[in-house]
Amino acid sequence: MADDNSTSSPPVKKRLVATKMASITRQIISTAKAPAAIGPYVQATLVNNTLYLSGAIGLNPKNGNMVEGGVEAETHQALRNLGGVLEAAGCTYKNVVDTTVLLSTMDNFAKVNAIYAEYFKEPYPARACFAVAGLPKGALFEIKAVAVVGEIQES
Among candidate residues 97, 129, 148, 152, the one labeled active-site is 129
Cα 25 to Cα 47: distance, rounded to the nearest angstrom: 6
Would you call 133 exposed, middle or buried from its count of C-beta atoms within 10 A (0-12, 13-18, 19+)? exposed
H or E element, residue 143: strand 141-148
129 annotated active-site? yes
Enumerate the H helices of the chain as residue ranges: 70-88, 109-119
Catalytic residues: 129
